[in-house]
Amino acid sequence: MSTEALIQVIASGLLLGLIYALIAVGLSLIFGLMDVVNFAHGEFLMVAMYATFGLWFVTAIDPILLAPVVTALLFVFGALVYLGVVRYAMRAKANIGMVQIFATFGLAILIQGLAQYFFTPDYRSIAGSWLGGKTLNIGGIFLPLPQIYGGVISVIVFGGLYLLMSRTDFGRALEATREDQGAVALVGIDRNRVFALGWGLGAALVGLAGAVLAIFYYIHPQVGGTFALIAYVTVALGGFGSVFGALVAGIIVGLVEAITAIVLPPAMKSVGVYALYLGVVFVRPSGLFGRL
């Protein structure tokens, strides 16, 4: 393989990695806040993609401009999922972890079923957006504009999250709640409210990822599953709950996947990612940036 082709593969892997990170960070955030793994994370992504498609279809406004709307919608959706489902699942007296897993799992299957029923299993795709199908050619290296846009959004989001977590009251409340759920009540922080906002934020982030992805990926009731597995390994690799870890791990996953596909038969490209993850488990079981 020529150097040019190799650079292409690495560049594509990097861009995709940034998008993986954006997809995964909401999952990591929710886990970090309250130790709940949202098994419906992929379905949140799917809902966001359909929301983008639907809004685009009705209003014919470019998906880039619709992204804030979709993000806001998913924020509400995430908060409602917490208030309507997860809050109750957390009241279990025994096997609380399993109850949460099955509650979010059930939700995932319900959302998938509803999507298939109402949107049909046909594949959708957004035709004629500003960036769709456009590619930047830098000396034979092709960088699709929608993915560059996704990468830029991802970097901005991680910057924003850093500021949010470290500079705002809401961020501090999130951090405090995750440190000690009991103690925050004593200083007047409503735990339920923080959780609901945390779910809203997590869903909003995956919503933004969906709005980005909808520009260049097909939209289908099952599309979440394709990315959810990657999101889980990204979160596990980066460290459960670590926002920065999700960024690093997303990039690593994107790169390792791209490179594995040229070293090994491409059918085995996820092998590289999982081999790396297992390697990390030996050294740092809670992930690269997870708390030990």
Q: Which residues would be at the binding site for other proteins (CB under 8 A)?
A: 1-2, 5, 8-9, 12-13, 16, 39, 101, 105-106, 108-109, 112-113, 116, 120-125, 127, 133, 135, 137, 142, 144, 147, 216-218, 220-222, 225-227, 229-230, 232, 257-259, 261-262, 265-270
| Residue closer to other proteins, measured from CB, 15 or 79 | 15
In angstroms, what is the minimal distance from the CB of 9 to other proteins?
5
| Residue closer to other proteins, measured from CB, 83 or 262 | 262
Q: Is 111 helix (H, G, I), strand (E, B) or coil?
A: helix
Q: Are residues 82 and 195 in contact, defined by beta-carbon separation less than 8 angstroms?
A: yes
Q: Are residues 75 and 204 in contact, defined by beta-carbon separation less than 8 angstroms?
A: yes
| CA 242 from centre of chain | 13
| Residue closer to other proteins, measured from CB, 159 or 218 | 218
| Residue closer to other proteins, measured from CB, 65 or 262 | 262
Which backbone phi and psi does 29 adopt, to 5 degrees? -60, -45
In angstroms, what is the minimal distance from the CB of 69 to other proteins?
23
Q: Are residues 118 and 124 in contact, defined by beta-carbon separation less than 8 angstroms?
A: no
Q: CA triplet 291, 270, 288: central angle to 5 degrees? A: 15
| Residue closer to other proteins, measured from CB, 69 or 261 | 261
Query: CA 150 → CA 7, 153, 205, 215, distances in Å?
Result: 19, 5, 12, 10
In angstroms, what is the minimal distance from the CB of 16 to other proteins?
5
In angstroms, what is the minimal distance from the CB of 54 to other proteins?
16
C-alpha 210/C-alpha 217 separation (Å) is: 10
In angstroms, what is the minimal distance from the CB of 32 to other proteins?
18
| Residue closer to other proteins, measured from CB, 75 or 227 | 227
Query: CA 146 → CA 19, 20, 24, 213, 268, distances in Å?
Result: 11, 14, 19, 8, 27
In angstroms, what is the minimal distance from the CB of 72 to other proteins?
26
H-helix or E-strand containing 138? Answer: strand 135-138
Give the position of tokens 């910057």. 159
